[in-house]
Amino acid sequence: MKFTRLPLAACLCAALLSPASLLAKETLERADVPAELKWDLAAMYPSAEAWEADAEKLKAMLPEIEPFRGRLAEGGDVLLAALKKQEEIGQLVGSLYVYAGMKSFEDLRDSDNSARFSRARTLLSQYNEATAFFSPELLALPPAQVDTMVNDTPGLAIYRHYLDEQSRLRPYTLSEAEEKLLAMADDPLNKFNGVFSAIDNADLNFGTMKNEEGEEVELTKARYGAFLSSPDRRVREDAWIGLFTAYEKMGNTLAANYEGHVKGRVFSARARGYDSALHAATYASAIPTEVYTNLITAAREGAPALQKFLEVRREALGVDTMEVWDLYAPTTDNVFGDISWDEAKQIVAEALAPMGEDYIALYWHGFDDGWVDAVENRGKRGGAYSWGTYNSKPYLSMNYEGTLNDVSTLAHEYGHSLHSYMARGTQPYVYGSYRTFIAEIASMTNEAILFQKMLSEADSAKKRAYLLQNYLDQFRSGFFRQTSFADFEMQAHARVEAGDALSKDSLNALYAEVFAAYYGDAVNAHELNASEWSRIPHFMRTDNFYVYQYATSFVAATALAKQILEEGEPARDRFLTMLRSGSNDYPIELLKKAGVDMTTPKPIYQTLAVFEELVGDYEEALAEAKAE
């Protein structure tokens, strides 16, 4: 049983930075960010000393697990007590780990916080070592004996699904000594992600560039996204070249680090007897491997629709060749302009009204309760994410810059956070988390509903074209791009499993091959584009093969949003029931109950049909916009 490590909630207060200050030339230091735009981690630990006290408490508690070693077969009462003790200690180590991680992510240059996070990883490893006997002993029990224990022991019935999940792992669970050895190896094998994060967020410097007004500004990852959406092609190219050049220069180091990570995943899978690292990743989540491979097959078949969209985009841009830095360029004027934080919050709230009053009330509550870290500061971990524990607030981090994409990101991350809040408020600790396969569905359904709301209210062809372009870009990124990443990741692991080495050159060549399969001749792939694999943080996750779930979630979210908007309350209730269910059933089954069956490729092809239809709508809106 593991502690909660999935996304939680997000929010902040009302007085906000204006777009001008959000887009200031200089990135703020952490201390200069207004308090109302920073999350309230003090609700977890008011000080470093409080964290240290719990770290010492954990060390004292770890030996309390030992008396259960070799005794799980004695009876239901002993098994129940062991589960309770594991939960108690698991919640403590979870709080220590997540707090240290989020505190470190505030400013990765802070060596004290980084050291504390490293210690937290060590504590987690020690917890895993101390509980390594649990699964082997549990799986050594005959299923009939476990059923008898559950039926005859008050309080044990709640763990029935958890015990069933554990039973699934029987073929891939090793002896106690072997499990302990793997637990000891867990910390060093997971160091590669930390190395990448340090390079990516603290060590890399992207230099400066001239913005649209010709002013010299610092190029950061957060600003990179805004610059790629600039109508000025020179700005887009300079930002893209500046960012990718920095990664290319670190290519050999990043390749060596990624190879170490992949070899670690392959080692773990082989040690347990899985067919492959991919098999290990999908089996652990009770997802048939065919869901992964069906996705890649369907996306490759649907690539012509993607290329058609990009051709329409090229014509709208009025360029002879679509370059990689043109992929996010606006094809119409930004009819929405800079969006203040207050406006963004209101836009999302109004769009999500179909989710019901309780959902919206909880959404607003988060802004007053310190859930969100809203804007960029120096050293802050890039990207947007939601994280927390069973007992904490559902925290959210993002780097708001005032764009329409940032509004969508707010809706997305809030989907994670509200999902977590509802699951933890409804389910006991054992089911208070949720599988990754389900995690992205809540967030992407919010994005899909937001898009439909804004599209329905668009009062001009220019607004429709702008919204369709943005959503189709999200479709490209959330479905095609993530599937291409999954394609690359699968092939990279397969090469290591075949005994091949992963070098900068081989990884660049592989990435270029996969990119060509999806984008064809619709985009001119600059030579630096082959190194894009080196800047994708999801490739370094400990739960690798994560990215395909963005694409499957996009498929499910497209279907669920359609059902909620067309059916109303019945579909909404099915969806919210899934969110409240946490992990009390297998993810495929929870999704079936919500109304989508991902065991067949049918929903994928239906989603591709939606994409093709939207491309046609986009082309039509562009034509109408010219006549306005």
In a domain, 515, yes or no: no
349/346 Cα distance (integer angstroms): 5
Angle in degrees, 0-180, between the axes of helices 548-567 and 587-594, rounded to the nearest 10: 20
- At 420 the pLDDT is 96
Stated as kind and residue range, the H or E segment containing 472 is: helix 461-475
In a domain, 573, yes or no: yes
DSSP 406: H
- At 1 the pLDDT is 39
What's the helix, strand, coil split of the chain in %, to 5? 70, 5, 30
DSSP 524: B
Is 248 known to be catalytic?
Answer: no
Q: Where does a domain end: 189, 211, 245?
A: 189
In a domain, 126, yes or no: yes
Structurally, how many domains does the chain consist of? 2
146 Cβ neighbours under 8 A, 6+ residues apart: 138, 163, 167
CATH of the domain at 429: 1.10.1370.40
- How many CB atoms within 10 Å of residue 535? 19
- At 170 the pLDDT is 87
pLDDT digits (tens, 9 = 90+) for 192-246: 988 998 999 888 999 999 999 999 999 998 789 889 989 999 999 999 999 999 9
In a domain, 287, yes or no: no
- At 97 the pLDDT is 97
- At 400 the pLDDT is 93
- At 5 the pLDDT is 34
- At 17 the pLDDT is 31
- Backbone dihedral region for residue 399 (phi beyond 0: left; psi -120 to 50: alpha; all else: beta): beta
In a domain, 233, yes or no: no
* pTM summary value: 0.81
299/517 Cα distance (integer angstroms): 10
In a domain, 569, yes or no: yes
Q: Where does a domain end: 189, 208, 229?
A: 189
pLDDT digits (tens, 9 = 90+) for 247-297: 999 999 999 999 999 999 999 999 999 999 999 999 988 899 999 999 999
547/530 Cα distance (integer angstroms): 19
CATH of the domain at 133: 1.20.140.70
Do residues 436 and 24 make contact, with C-beta atoms less than 8 angstroms apart?
no
In a domain, 436, yes or no: yes
pLDDT digits (tens, 9 = 90+) for 544-599: 798 999 899 999 999 999 999 999 999 999 999 999 999 999 999 999 999 999 99
Print the domain residue range for 59: 40-189
How long, in residues, is the chain?
Answer: 628
- At 383 the pLDDT is 84
Q: List, for the chain, all residue ranges whose pLDDT scores fall below the cut of 70.
A: 1-25
Place of tokens 């399969």: 517
Catalytic residue, candidates 129, 413, 497, 532:
413
Using a CB cutoff of 8 Å and minimum separation of 24, what contacts does 336-339 make? 336/404, 336/463, 336/466, 338/19, 338/20, 338/23, 338/402, 338/403, 339/19, 339/402, 339/403, 339/404, 339/406, 339/407
DSSP 480: I
Do residues 105 and 202 make contact, with C-beta atoms less than 8 angstroms apart?
no
In a domain, 110, yes or no: yes
